Amino acid sequence: MALFYAAVTKEIGIEMATKPPKDLAGHRKQSVKLRTARGRTNSSQRWLQRQLNDPYVQKAKAEGYRSRAAYKLIEINEKYNLIHPGMTIVDLGAAPGGWSQVLSRWGADQTLIALDLLEMDPLEDVTFIQGDFTDEDIYQELLSYAADGIDVVLSDMAPVTTGHKKTDHIRIMDLVEQACYFAIDVLKPGGSFVAKTLQGGGQNDVMILLKKNFQKVSHFKPASSRKESSEMYVIAQGFKE
């Protein structure tokens, strides 16, 4: 199975970060056993067990990050070098703020705009807009904070899951496509776009659109992305005029 998986990922061009970052390489895994609570479902029991034993969850708590997703952006930027001083960056689907928090800590005179349907606790130097980025009023409000254009559009959005794999896959690919069209509308020439997607079918239209509008398109699965998860990230660089 491992050989088959490696062959498939090579075939579709996914770069795998198989080793954890250096500061986690020596992490000693300490398994935590969770007592069964009355009324708790088996699925919630497994989720809690996984959270307690996840080194990235523990590391995020120790370093004050809002979510383990922070390390996914850190890994992406270490590999692709997308974020630079003075940029204007939009974080779509930002709540609870894991990626925006990383960007805020990096600072360097950036203009950071976070957007989500849900509320998000304030972050230093981050402008938060609550609403749907496909809504015209929200879209115009967002652009009002980016008078000189946008350098990077980030999307770690994921829909509410139904438990039905095909339905969930269609939903997340729809979000990716919407984010892609938004990025094409607002990015400066040379800009970058990052979006969470899922391995599987339904990606052709999005990939065609990205390759038509960007100089380079890559797939990457960070080490901080759980092995059992089918999520990966598409990284589009060099937006064409």
Q: What is the rounded CA–CA span in Å between residue 172 and residue 160?
A: 9
Q: Which residues of 127-144 are buried (b: 16+ CB within 10 A; e: fewer)?
A: bbbeeebeeeebbebbee
Alpha carbon of 126 to those of 86, 122, 198: distances in Å? 14, 7, 28
The residues pairing with 220 across neighbouring beta strands, listed in sequence order, are 15, 233
Strand pairing report for 111-116 and 88-92: parallel
Count CB-CB contacts under 10 A for residue 225. Answer: 22
Tell me which residue of 112, 120, 176, 104 sits closest to 146, measured CA to CA.
112
The residue annotated as part of the active site, out of 59, 72, 196, 221, is 196
The residues pairing with 128 across neighbouring beta strands, listed in sequence order, are 114
Token pair, residue 51, equals: 């959270």
The residues pairing with 90 across neighbouring beta strands, listed in sequence order, are 113, 153
- Long-range Cβ contacts of 166-171 (<8 Å, 24+ apart): 168/198, 169/198, 169/200, 169/201, 169/202, 170/202
Q: Is 196 labeled as catalytic in the residue annotation?
A: yes
Active site residues: 196
